[in-house]
Chains A and B, each alone.
Chain A
């Protein structure tokens, strides 16, 4: 078989499954709408505000800073596993990486990026 055969099969299955789950229930199920069913699901608690509400921009800042440190931690794992094999080369690569990150960290700190206001 062509090596791309499985990809084609996967594509067909994915489209068919998506159609199956999204279209067929709408055709078969009996619809009995009421006001409570149309509410956004909030774990049983009544929603207090519209879902598409506005929230402060600082959440984005926190999220971005989190991603930075998350990625940093994630990139330590492969190095830690292969530390002995990579030897000095790997160590130097990591040191450069940390220096770049530390400068960014110092910059954000000094500029008040961690102050919750």
Chain B
């Protein structure tokens, strides 16, 4: 028997392979390094691995290939999502250079690299089994990463995430089983036959599958775990979860709604999802108002931001997908930048997570405060940032696709969110009334570098609306 796969199939998973090898190398190198080398050695190898994977994934852009019997499709769509996921991984891994005990850095960076592999598999997954494999690889690593801290809250977060996420996976798997039952295939491309649309099994399966995805995207009403888990998890893990998990799940979601649903019924099946996205934009932004913890605040913010991205997909037009990708990339830089600033003013105890430590930051660390202001303005969607342009594009596509009510909800949600983001900006620049945190944290080069790159990206992206056009078709 010959090997069942061709060289091109293997080439499709080179980026994932490089990350896996880098993770193994991190573990081996950790065994032979001293205490002092452990931290920078692990982070350095991990970042090199991410850079290698990013190079290989970029080379695949524009060369569509159905690897492994159509189970894993690389090329445009997957490459763009993989790059965003790798940016998220790099932006989170870099924070380990200053956060957490050194003897734990190797294990956590290795697990984070494997989780990144899972998200990257999700980006290209085009059959139900591959989707499940990627999702589980991503989630299993995250359970351990959430718990990798000495704080009690971290363990609580890990347990909550484990239980709720497993429930969601159960939904997804049951839905996948019903879809297989209704269609007799695991390939998304085989689901588009309109003849299936009369089968109640198909509707139930698609519904449960979407519920599982919506849970992972933490949209209302499946959002309650997000703020708790974000608050409890260590800072780099929160940064990773807020971008990479959402990007991977959005890839599966987008591929499913574009490539697996018959066009005649797609908008009927998806109407509940659009409603859920609309409600999320309101609930997420209202939830932000009372928060005193940055990670919690960004958790609620993420609920609303994913809502915005889903609004771009409403109507399932190719242009909507391009705008969604643009906003996702911008969102990645905004969030990673905000977490980098939090890490730059944090010590071992993650003080930067508390909003009180931002009081007077404008005088103590003017550059960090300026960068943070840019990220918060971008999250709120104000010019001159990528968030502004992204929201304009999403509003335009929502109205032209016939979903003006979603556009209206987006505007209302944005108006509410302004108050929450502006509160942090005000705290950074206003004259202090009471005691101001006076200690200035030492200069953390890598976190500052990350914040700087993200700030430049958030501003520059506003003037170069890169919306990749050759990302379709998603499945054959």
Tell whether A85 pairs with B1 under 8 Å between CB atoms, given A4-B181, A103-B24.
yes
Query: How many angstroms from the CA of A85 to the CA of B2 in the assembled complex?
Result: 9
Extra inter-chain contacts (13) besides given A89-B3, A100-B24, CB under 8 Å? A4-B181, A86-B1, A87-B1, A88-B3, A99-B24, A100-B20, A103-B24, A103-B27, A104-B27, A106-B28, A107-B30, A107-B31, A110-B31
- Shortest CB–CB separation between residue A105 and chain B, in angstroms? 11
Query: Which residues does chain A contribute within 8 Å of B4, judged by CB atoms?
Result: 89
Chain A residues packing against B (C-beta within 8 Å): 4, 85-89, 99-100, 103-104, 106-107, 110
Please indicate which of the listed interface residues A86, A99, A107, A110 has the most CB atoms of chain B within 10 Å of its own CB: A107
* Residues of chain B at interface, number, CB under 8 A: 11
Query: Which residues does chain B contribute within 8 Å of A100, judged by CB atoms?
Result: 20, 24
- Shortest CB–CB separation between residue B137 and chain A, in angstroms? 14
- Shortest CB–CB separation between residue A101 and chain B, in angstroms? 11
Mostly helix, strand, loop or mixed at chain A's interface?
helix
Query: Which residues does chain B contribute within 8 Å of A99, judged by CB atoms?
Result: 24
Cross-chain pairs A/B with CB under 8 angstroms, 9 sampled: A85-B1, A87-B1, A88-B3, A89-B1, A89-B2, A89-B3, A103-B24, A103-B28, A107-B31
Query: How many angstroms from the CA of A99 to the CA of B2 in the assembled complex?
Result: 23
Query: Which residues does chain A contribute within 8 Å of B31, judged by CB atoms?
Result: 106-107, 110
Query: Which residues does chain A contribute within 8 Å of B20, judged by CB atoms?
Result: 100
Query: Which residues does chain A contribute within 8 Å of B181, judged by CB atoms?
Result: 4
- Nearest B residue to A104, CB-CB: B27
Query: How many angstroms from the CA of A110 to the CA of B27 in the assembled complex?
Result: 11
Chain B 259-299 interface 0/1 with A at a Cβ cutoff of 8 Å (1 = within): 00000000000000000000000000000000000000000
Query: Which residues does chain B contribute within 8 Å of A4, judged by CB atoms?
Result: 181
Query: Which residues does chain A contribute within 8 Å of B24, judged by CB atoms?
Result: 99-100, 103
Please indicate which of the listed interface residues A4, A86, A103 has the most CB atoms of chain B within 10 Å of its own CB: A103
